[in-house]
């Protein structure tokens, strides 16, 4: 049997693809045809891209992009490139189910802010990427589309909730991908699929439009990519203020000027003298599957090669207190957002147990509970600032288990320790969500079974560019993405 070899177009980086389209070395029609054929070849075994759009209409949109370039008109760096937003993001005219049977036939009349911005930058939406129901849980499965399978082992999970996005990236079905992150949903699937996932600083990427604009500070949207330069370019497209989201940050001037031509230089920085604090398993507090800590420590051995010192530290704050404040915030924000569905018997019957657990956990919360949890979160943030007085970055694993059985809803034990909630197994991401700091998950390699893992690099508040520069330096030293392709495309 002849091994499958992907079309060279789909193997280009997003930056290379943008430059090739704008130089008219390839047409948008050629790009669209190559991607659609590739998706038809590899997506059935993975189930990453869902709600696929009509092929003839997509080819017509690609022709329109070519016609615009022929007139000297380009919408932006994503002009004529295929894109599939996560199925939690509203897409005008394209089914948006949130992974829930309740919204199986929901077709929004407008876009989310990040979708709107990708369209404005020239992207052509070819469908959506799969997600768990309402994004709850770090494993991508739902009753609408089924489960997304890991690109490196289809019997395993691709992570979540941006599992479809990460798997599509790894299999070269998308040049870049968007995702969202409350409990590690940009980070965990990046680790499980051997790509990069970036949770931006709180407010860096406007979130919405949404019914409630001021309280949801923990969920955010951000970029995923196969390299840091592409990641930075998509972040630049997504970020910047929007009047509809009152807590959005002003645009970072460096991000604002990024182009495919200058992004490499913008990420190249002298990191001599910088220091990374390795927090590992929080002094033994977090159970870890064998092999995760050692892969991260092997990755950290590259850091002195580009001038960055690494030092192990003790936990800067009691981790169980962080977990307790997380539970209150999670119940409050997630539970109340779905309360109307719970109060309606017909829709309640269609909610998965994890959604019901979150909602019921919110019912008895008092205002004093939320204030106490916010005070505890503030104390953690202040402790973190003290750590950043000595160190420039913090490093921890991205996950506590390697990709697990795709038929399992979530890991019930880790290293013999019972998990008491559906997200306790992802506790390693929680502190950084609560901090609002920028975090990137970078690939660190594979275990003996060939399963990927990642490591989180956390930077100071609002210092997104510094985190990207550290990740870029590491990528130059160790490029796992290109060194180890998923078997389906390693022809």
Domain containing 112: what range?
8-483
Q: What is the pLDDT of residue 1?
A: 60
Within a domain: residue 489? no
CATH number at residue 111: 3.90.1300.10
Within a domain: residue 382? yes
Q: For the chain, give the mean pLDDT.
A: 97
Within a domain: residue 168? yes
Instruction: Judge contact between 405 and 378, C-beta under 8 A.
Output: no
Q: What is the pLDDT of residue 241?
A: 95
Catalytically annotated residues? 86, 161, 185
Q: Are strands 309-312 and 275-278 parallel, antiparallel or unpaired?
A: parallel
Within a domain: residue 263? yes
Q: pLDDT of 86-121, one tens digit each?
A: 999 999 999 999 999 999 999 999 999 999 999 999
Within a domain: residue 491? no
> Which tokens go with 140?
């991508």
Burial class of 56 by CB neighbour count within 10 A (0 to 12, 13 to 18, 19+): exposed
Within a domain: residue 203? yes
Q: Please give the chain's pLDDT, 491 residues, in tens.
A: 677 999 999 999 999 999 999 999 999 999 999 999 999 999 999 999 999 999 999 999 999 999 999 999 999 999 999 999 999 999 999 999 999 999 999 999 999 999 999 999 999 999 999 999 999 999 999 999 999 999 999 999 999 999 999 999 999 999 999 999 999 999 999 999 999 999 999 999 998 888 999 988 899 999 999 999 999 999 999 999 999 999 999 999 999 999 999 999 999 999 999 999 999 999 999 999 999 999 999 999 999 999 999 999 999 999 999 999 999 999 999 999 999 999 999 999 999 999 999 999 999 999 999 999 999 999 999 999 999 999 999 999 999 999 999 999 999 999 999 999 999 999 999 999 999 999 999 999 999 999 999 999 999 999 999 999 999 999 999 999 999 999 999 97
For 291-326, letters b (16+ CB in 10 Å) and e give bbbebbbebbebbeebebebeeeebbbebeebbebb
Number of Cβ atoms within 10 Å of the Cβ of 54: 9
Distance CA 76, CA 78 (A): 5
Within a domain: residue 488? no
pTM (2 decimals)?
A: 0.98
Q: What is the pLDDT of residue 217?
A: 85
Note the Cα 260 to chain centre separation in Å: 21
Within a domain: residue 228? yes
Q: pLDDT of 298-350, one tens digit each?
A: 999 999 999 999 999 999 999 999 999 999 999 999 999 999 999 999 999 99
Q: Per the structure, how many domains does the chain have? A: 1
Q: What is the pLDDT of residue 66?
A: 98
């Amino acid at each position: 049997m002849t091994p499958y070899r992907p079309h060279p177009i789909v193997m280009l980086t997003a930056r290379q693809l943008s430059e090739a389209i704008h130089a008219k070395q390839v047409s948008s029609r050629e790009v669209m045809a190559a991607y659609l054929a590739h998706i038809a070849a590899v997506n059935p075994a993975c189930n990453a891209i869902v709600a696929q759009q009509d092929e003839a209409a997509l080819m017509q949109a690609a022709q329109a992009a070519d016609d615009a370039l022929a007139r000297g008109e380009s919408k932006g760096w994503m002009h004529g490139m295929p894109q599939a937003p996560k199925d939690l993001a509203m897409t005008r005219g394209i089914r948006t189910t949130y992974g829930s049977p309740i919204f199986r036939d929901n077709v929004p009349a407008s876009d989310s802010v990040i979708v709107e911005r990708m369209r404005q930058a020239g992207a052509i939406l070819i469908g959506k990427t799969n997600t768990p129901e309402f994004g709850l849980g770090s494993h991508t499965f739902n009753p609408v589309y089924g489960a997304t399978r890991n690109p490196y082992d289809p019997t395993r999970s691709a992570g979540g909730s941006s599992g479809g996005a990460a798997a599509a990236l790894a299999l070269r079905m998308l040049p870049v991908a968007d995702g969202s992150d409350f409990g590690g949903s940009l980070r965990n699937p990046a680790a499980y699929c051997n790509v990069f996932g970036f949770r931006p600083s709180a407010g860096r990427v406007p979130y919405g439009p949404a019914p409630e604009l001021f309280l949801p500070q923990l969920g955010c949207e951000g970029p995923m990519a196969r390299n840091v330069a592409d990641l930075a370019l998509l972040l630049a497209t997504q970020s910047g203020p929007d009047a509809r989201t009152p807590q959005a940050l002003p645009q970072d001037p460096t991000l604002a000027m990024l182009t495919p031509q200058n992004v490499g230089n913008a990420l190249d920085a002298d990191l001599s003298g910088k220091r990374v604090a390795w927090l590992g398993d929080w002094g033994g507090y977090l159970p870890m599957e064998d092999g995760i800590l050692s892969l991260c420590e092997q990755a950290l051995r590259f850091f002195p090669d580009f001038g960055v010192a690494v030092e192990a530290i003790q936990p800067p704050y009691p981790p169980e207190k962080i977990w307790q404040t997380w539970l209150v915030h999670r119940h409050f924000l997630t539970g109340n957002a779905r309360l109307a569905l719970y109060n309606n018997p017909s829709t309640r019957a269609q909610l998965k147990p994890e959604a019901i657990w979150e909602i019921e956990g919110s019912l008895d919360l008092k205002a004093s509970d939320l204030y106490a949890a916010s005070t505890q979160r503030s104390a953690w943030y202040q402790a973190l600032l003290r750590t950043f007085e000595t160190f420039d970055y913090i490093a921890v694993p991205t996950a506590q288990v390697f990709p697990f059985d795709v038929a399992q809803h979530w890991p019930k034990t880790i290293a013999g320790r019972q998990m008491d909630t559906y997200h306790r197994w992802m506790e390693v991401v929680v502190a950084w969500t609560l901090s609002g700091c920028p975090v990137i998950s970078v690939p660190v390699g594979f275990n003996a079974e060939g399963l990927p893992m990642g490591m989180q690099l956390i930077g100071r508040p609002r210092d997104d560019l510094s985190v990207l520069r550290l990740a870029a330096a590491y990528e130059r030293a160790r490029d796992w993405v290109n060194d180890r392709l998923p078997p389906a495309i390693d022809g």
